[in-house]
Amino acid sequence: MPRLSVVEPLSVIGGAVERGLAYLGGVAQLLGRAFAHAFTSSLKRSLSYQRACHQAMVIGVGAVPVISFITFFIGVIMALQGAYELKRFGALHLIADTVAISITRELGPLVTAIVVIGRSGSAFAAEIGTMKVTEELDALETMALHPIGFLVTPKLLAMLVMMPCLTIWADLMGVLGGSVFGVTGADYTFGTYLSATRDALYMRDIITGLVKSIVFGLVITGVGCQEGFATGAGSEEVGRSTTSAVVTSIFLVVLVDLVFTAIFYVTGGA
């Protein structure tokens, strides 16, 4: 029976790491070229900004109802789960602090990113992938429109603006969700609950979530568009690219969240 060589698993791991780094390098290069196209000639710049406004409506305004419901319910759930433990220590009055800090630092930006991945990240991959399969990308080049500047740059600009806005809205809805339990089960009034939330939060708590949301927006746009441009021939490949965009984006968003949380903790910001 042949022995398993130690080199084989190491080569598999090394190959996976190499492919992962190459993928991240491709995403970074795509985002860099998209930023560069945002500052080119005035005609292309105005065209990108017009399309960015349209993308902002699709990415941001369209996601508000979904994010509102999800984060509101998450706020209620956080309050109920927190109260279960806090009641044991006679610290139920800290429920507003627990919900506010959890939502603004972590759950607000993370839930927002996951919702945007499902709505917009998948749509980016499907749109660009379909255009590649139907050779519309080649048609754009014949019309002197660079595909990255025409397709990626507006999405990137819209995402960088809308992700922090959606995160702030998610934070607000999460706090309002927590206030439902605070008023009904923790002897708060609505005014005292908001006052306790205000006293519990520092500016760094909100900024931490906003910084994460901006990086999440870069990840979602880069991965979605990268998967779209990497789509192979055939309609089946469009579905594969869409699925890969969602899975990869969620993985990278959680990884980025871990890295930033560790950085903020080490530097005293968490």
pLDDT tens sequence across 143-153: 877 888 888 98
- Quick check: is 13 in a domain? no
Reading the block at residue 99, the tokens are: 């919900």
pLDDT, one tens digit per residue, over 152-194 is 988 999 999 999 999 999 999 999 999 988 888 878 888 888 8
Domain region containing 132:
63-266
Does residue 36 form part of some domain? no
pLDDT at 136 over 70: yes
On whether residue 52 sits in a domain, the answer given is: no
Answer yes or no: is pLDDT of 75 > 60.
yes
Whether residue 44 is contained in a domain is answered as no
Number of domains in the chain: 1
pLDDT reading at 2 higher than 80: no
pLDDT for the residue 270: 45
DSSP-derived 3-state class of residue 141: helix
Per-residue pLDDT of 186-212, as tens digits, reads 788 888 888 988 888 888 888 999 999
DSSP class per residue in 81-140:
HHHHHHGGGT-GGGHHHHHHHHIIIIIHHHHHHHHHIIIIIHHHHHHHHHHHHTTHHHHH
When pLDDT is averaged across residues 60-71 and rounded to a whole number, the result is 92
The span from the CA of 270 to the CA of 199, in Å, is 16
pLDDT bucket at 246, cuts 50 / 70 / 90: very high
- pLDDT of 128 > 70? The answer is yes
Is residue 15 in some structural domain? no
pTM of the predicted model as reported, rounded to 2 decimal places: 0.88
Distance between CA atoms of residues 116 and 184, nearest Å: 32
**How far, in Å, CA of 60 to CA of 54, rounded?**
10
Q: Report if residue 75 sits inside a domain.
A: yes
Q: Is residue 42 part of a domain?
A: no
Instruction: Compute the distance between CA of residue 90 and CA of residue 96 in angstroms, rounded to an integer.
Output: 14
pLDDT of residue 160: 92
Predicted confidence at residue 182, as pLDDT, reads 86
Task: Classify residue 1: in a domain, yes or no.
Answer: no
